[in-house]
Structure 1
Amino acid sequence: MNQPVPTLYEWLGGIEALNRLTTRFYERVRDDAILAPIFAHMSDEHPQHVAVFLAEVLGGPTEYSAIHGGHAHMIQQHLNRHLEQAQRRQWVALLLDTADELQMPEDPEFRSALVGYLEWGSRLAVLNSKSGATVDAHAPMPKWGWGEVKGPYLQ
């Protein structure tokens, strides 16, 4: 009997694992010379919000969309922040380093999918942080999986 393929969310350990990841990551951000200034006024709830967002993107519950308004809300958080590529690269590198520190799944298939989303999402954040960027209020939430992707720019 074939077992159903788990979502990326299930594979990494669900919301508990994502909360550990984002909590530890943002602790490290506070000490990072490149990232600390960007997140200097981060709320205490920020790591949990990011965990819930990642959960939805990776195939978990749709709580972020239900509570915060989905992908449009996330894009809105980046408007006019003028993020640079060096900041984006450091954000991705530190998040992946934190995943290693917490011994999240290391199999190539999972890490490839995770890196794929982090690269795509962080590059989108940089684009949406530039002057003049706007939010499509109806942009669907991206859905990342094992080699297949569905998102507002990927149809």
Structure 2
Amino acid sequence: MTETVYEAVGGLPALESLAHAWHERCIADPVVAHAFSHGHHPDHSHRLALYWAEALGGPRDYTETIASESDVVRMHAGNGDHHEMDERAVDCFAAAVDDVGLTADPALAAVLVAYFRWATDRLGIHHDSASDVPDGLDVPRWSWDGLVDGDGTAAAQPQ
């Protein structure tokens, strides 16, 4: 059996390090910092790591204990188009992958950055209103081959 991206990254401790490194880079970036200018949860890095763990093939602790996927999408909705901020957030993520030593495995680093870019684009689709976000969304799962359908198989990637 092939290990999940979650297993390959080193589980929750590694994702917590990555989330912390990414958050620190975002706060230091003059454009991305705006996303956190109105405050953030004091346990943001841990909660983000739990979310990434679920998305990357780990346990479903985020949606079982913190929030639903619909809640996550709503939290990021209604903020208008922010393409430059999104691009810089992806750059911060790629740098954080390097900061925590995950670039030692180029395939792992590439799949993590591909996931983050896709997830960032996905969270930006509800520019106008959080009320446009439907209930009942599932956390999209990501594998070595990209987005995974609900049945566990790799889904076709949008071009």
The TM tier, using the shorter chain, reads 0.7 to 0.9
Q: How many residues align?
A: 150
1: CA distance, partners of 2:72 / 2:23: 17
Seen in structure 2, the aligned counterparts of structure 1 residues 77 and 14 have a Cα distance that, compared at 3 Å, is same
- The CA distance in 1 between the partners of 2:7 and 2:48, in whole Å, is 17
Residue pairs, 1:43-122, within 5 angstroms: 43-122=41-120
- 1:63-102 CA-to-partner distances (Å, cap 9, x unmatched) read 0110123321210111212241110010011011011011
Change (3 A) 1:94 1:62: same
Aligned to 2:119, the other structure's residue is in SS state helix
Whether contact under 8 Å (2:97, 2:109) holds in the other structure is no
Distance 1:14 1:109 in 2: 17
Q: Return structure 1 stretches of 4+ with deviation > 6 angstroms.
A: none
Aligned counterpart, 2:28: 31
Unmatched tracts of structure 2, length 5 or more: none
TM-score normalized by structure 2? 0.85
Report % sequence identity: 24
CA distance in 2, matches of 1:98, 1:31: 12
Output the CA distance in 2 between the equivalents of 1:106 and 1:138.
37
Give the CA deviation at 1:43.
Answer: 2.1
With normalisation by structure 1, the TM-score equals 0.87
Higher helix fraction: Structure 1 or Structure 2? 2
